[in-house]
Structure 1
Amino acid sequence: MEGLRELFQGFARNFSMLDSTCCARCCGEDLSLIQSHILFEVRRQELPSMQEVAGALGVDVTTFSRQIKLLVEKGLVQTTPDPNDGRVKLLSLTPAGQQIERQIDDFMQRSIRRILDQLSPFEQSSVLSSLALLNKAVRDADIWSCR
């Protein structure tokens, strides 16, 4: 399949709405790409542990804990000990973190909608179904295990 890699890399580049300046554009915050992903996962998972979010993002816990420290210092995330295991820290968004995550989400939803509006309803349905299938195939293929 000639051009397959170019197709995937082109899509990734064209879709990279969450770049180094997007958060400044959509919510006025100086956040990195990984920090915006952390806010999303913390909201999505509802009181996850640091290990759960790091795992969902595919980031080692050491690197992840540095990012959490920065988000705590910015007042966007708070950590609390797990009542069942004091060694585990649970994550939640502060009110400021919820507001920022909501602004990023609104920006992303509007951007995705503008993209999909370029397609017919049938094409939209096909693309969304195909993306769901592709995401499942990527998870199931375990391509990063170096086998």
Structure 2
Amino acid sequence: MENLRELFQVMTRRFGLLNKNCCRVGEAEISLVQSHIVYEILRKDRPSMQQVADTLGMDITTFSRQIQTLVKMELVKKTPFPDDRRVSQLTLTTQGNYVAAKINAEMNQYLNEVFSNMSDFEREMVIKSVKLLNEAMSKSTVCCKPFI
């Protein structure tokens, strides 16, 4: 039987998930965690800090430090909710939207190039398999389970 851990270790390295920074946009070095935060803020409409932290499975203290860095980089804007000023909502700034679009374009280009080395059938099989794996992982009771 194949060494499953090794397969995932290699895939992790090839995706660059161990790199300190995932990308550079202009002068900004964006970490992988920051990239995920920017993506989740883009995906949701004015989410609260707790909503994004929960989605990413991060404790709020660590998440808050990342948000402060993104605010200083002028990529994220943090404002109090009108109904409850103790809760902060997050939005991307114009620069944040640009960074999100740039990262998205680079990832899509990379994935398109990877999938170009496969037949249509292989591509569909991989996509279905990844969906199946994500679903099975969401049911896992062991670790690294994101809160959704």
Where does residue 11 of structure 1 map in the other structure?
11
Which contiguous aligned blocks of 4+ residues in structure 1 show a shift greater than 4 angstroms?
none
TM-aligned CA deviation for residue 143 of structure 1:
2.1
Where does residue 122 of structure 2 map in the other structure?
123
Residues paired across the two proteins, number: 144
Report percent identity of matched pairs.
44
User: Which stretches in structure 1 are left out of the alignment for 5+ residues?
Assistant: none
Distance 1:79 1:42, change over 3 A: same
Distance 1:56 1:94, change over 3 A: same
- 1:87 aligns to what SS in structure 2? coil
Where does residue 32 of structure 2 map in the other structure?
33
Where does residue 20 of structure 2 map in the other structure?
20
Structure 1, residues 53-94: CA drift from partner, whole Å, max 9, x if none?
111111110011011001111110001111222111000000
Structure with the bigger percentage of helix: 1
Distance 1:118 1:2, change over 3 A: closer
Where does residue 62 of structure 1 map in the other structure?
61
Structure 1, residues 10-47: CA drift from partner, whole Å, max 9, x if none?
111112268334412xx232121111111001001121
Is 1:88 matched with 2:69? no
User: Which stretches in structure 2 are left out of the alignment for 5+ residues?
Assistant: none
Two-structure CA RMSD over aligned residues (Å)? 1.8
Where does residue 131 of structure 2 map in the other structure?
132
Distance in 1 (CA, whole Å) between partners of 2:136 and 2:83 is: 35
Distance in 2 (CA, whole Å) between partners of 1:10 and 1:33 is: 17
Distance 1:87 1:99, change over 3 A: same
TM (norm. structure 1) is: 0.91
Contact 2:49 2:90 in 1 (8 A): yes
Distance 1:45 1:142, change over 3 A: farther
